[in-house]
Structure 1
Amino acid sequence: MENELKHELFKLHPMLKKITNKDTIFWENTKWMKKAKTDLFSMEEVDDAEETLKRFSSYLKVAFPELEESDGFIESSIQAIPNMKVALEKEFGTSIAGQFILKCDYALPISGSIKARGGIYEVLKHAERLAIANSLLKKEDDYAVLATEKLRAFFQQYTIAVGSTGNLGLSIGIMGKKLGFNVVVHMSSDAKEWKKALLREKGATVIEYEADYSVAVENGRKEAEQDPMCHFIDDENSKDLFSGYAVAAKRLKVQFEKANILVDEAHPLFVYLPCGVGGGPGGVAYGLREIFGEHVHIFFAEPVASPCMTIGLMTDLHDEISVEDIGLDNKTEADGLAVGRASKFVGKVMETYISGCYTVKDEELFTSLGLAMESEGLFLEPSAHAGMFGPIQLMKNGQSYLEKHNLADKMEHATHLIWATGGSMVPQEMREEYLKKA
């Protein structure tokens, strides 16, 4: 980025100085609208995704017996975490009004992270498309037929490729290999060794890069373009991924109704979503705003070294600005969030949907990791703890947001939903290493 443009940006957006210094920030999105809107995506695509996942439920029960109990649905529970709330209040010297609820995507079946939503959905949709086009499947069929050797042999002709920091690669590798596809995962330098090892164990090809996430995606995309039998799952631009994530909002509505958790003018909902390139949190945020409207307030959480979505939205430059452009190194222990350049598609969709973004230091992630273990016996990987820091940031630095939206006097009846994005598949020795750091 040219110095002149950089100078101009810093003048227009004084908060960039704090971001460059790796200070934590709370940024309020002034483009937020009561009736959020976008021309780039629609709820019809989410409804289609939900129907597709229903059709696959009989196959998923056969392929993954652990889904028998949920009737072939890949879903996570919600859980009250009052002790964690008390522990955070004490640690950060801040009183937080409202109840703490955890969305347990860290325990999602099959691949143990939020990526089990979008990643697995896109693999299933691609398989359905191929099987129908080749007269091997009709939408009225029992999809358990996909578990037969005949179908597996058919899918073996095809390859699925993806660029990933870790969890997306895991979800696609596990699902793709189960169906019979060849799978190639292009992994960035910050991807954890255990994730690469697990993918290889499942039979996926892992290509490693010294560079960061953007390079892994770019190379994966280029390589896939050379092969007509290869489908590239594009974390930066895929509407299928986005749709799979957005289905979560429809299911959350049902869970809230069963748990008698109200979301209305008198009972605001605050949601804190860890953010990397933006697809997972973007899809969830889109669905939540479409369902709960102006009564849900969504904040994306990013590491101080990698706040790509924050700077993309703040400057309106989206994917035209990277964290390196403003002097950051994109190095963080939160491997899933180590992304230097945000998705333009997601950034543009989110312009009127999300309430803001905040950043968190790696040491705060580890503090939270230790507190969750002590207070709730709960283990999440470091990146998933970015959400835990949200209510602290809101209470300490978001008072003007609360006042502007007439929320200050409603906080006693608020729900803080922390979206726990990953962690159940972390090996025991890695858990112990994280807990030592905590």
Structure 2
Amino acid sequence: MSNQTVSNDTNTQQLSGAITRATHQIIEGIAKDNSAPDRPVALEVFLDDAFYFKFIVNDNNEPSGKTHLFFPQHYFQFHCDLPRHTLKLSIRFADNGKKLENSPFQIHYDGTPITVAIENDEEYIEETRTWLNKRFGEGYIDGIYFAHQPIYGYRAGYCEPNLLDRYLITFHIMNALTHFSFNTFLDVGGAEGYKAAMVAKFFDAQVTSSDVSQQVCNRAYELYGIETAIGNMHSLPFEDEQFEIVLCSESLEHVPDFKKSLTEILRVCKQAAIITVPHESQETVKNNIESREVHAHMQSFDVYSFEYLNKLGYEVFIQKILLRSQKILTPGILMECYPDTIGIIENKALKWLAKRAPWLMRLIFNKFVVAPLLEQDAILDQKRTDLFYGGILAIIIKDRHAFSVSPNKLIRMREVMDFTVPFLRKKKIN
């Protein structure tokens, strides 16, 4: 197997491609040696002995999409910021750390460090504000506000799709909060106030929802009557340690400088910050930045993205969420039964039924059936190391005495699903 040289003008995509090609060669090599795995197996890629990404090899000796079906373009999750030097790429089995026979493999990289940035932060933030004002100010269907979250109830409609991820993220957040006792709570990037209002109910806390858009804050007040504040995540309009707990869910990926925003979040919290972010490829994020797509994902996160905070004196706990197991995907897909997602189901009988009788699948996979099945997402993180994960939950502790190893209560998925409001109808102007 020969080395590959990447020229000085190498960009992110070319370097990622070089590593992908090298990985393919290693896979082809073990296939020719008749030593390829006879079942799906997780392999980990190391650059200069530092872990960078994981991928799956299936029984056809090629990168498998089985655990990546929600993110088919992300066969190789790659994240790095590398100086100019020769990289040693090695691949190991995830379960036992054993190196493949054809590893290590040399990749010569002489390109510039891989970094991407928005040229004008304030201009981009203003474009985002305008987009959000339109989305949340004019987003009505049949005279009913079309929600970002499933605020009207399980399959009640008039909300954005992908209930699976939305319920799971909220479920994990609520259970993370059970490790703290708090009275004041801030949701940064809180959208229509769904999570902040849920915290007010479950934890009897005084809550505030903050967002960059006036229209977003208006919807939060109309729906839940909670306190709102317009605020740029790069400069939050709050005092130091004003809130005991601060949440920032699915928002850091939208900002030009996530570390600057996180510094602000940690400034205004007293006990801890709870963060959730998606796990996506750097290549996808780079394309979003180059296209200047408004309110797109500008940051790529993995389980190591928040490690730098340990050196700053914080204690960080990381949990993989949105695990792409069929135990989670199947009920999650069948509760909505959209035609474009049914193909992800591996069970042939359920797939056949879903295509021909989606009404029956929706009847069977009601919230009483689906709720306990989705709760396994928290368990699988500890039991399975070969699953692709779609998201990350980080608990960043500022006051170690505030954190309790044992939860104060247990929040069930049914409670999350049952948290609803009546339809918000557009006010008629006389």
When normalised by structure 1's length, the TM-score is: 0.26
State the structure with more CA Rg.
Answer: 2
Task: Calculate the TM-score normalised by the size of structure 2.
Answer: 0.27
Q: As a proportion of its length, which structure holds more helix? A: 1
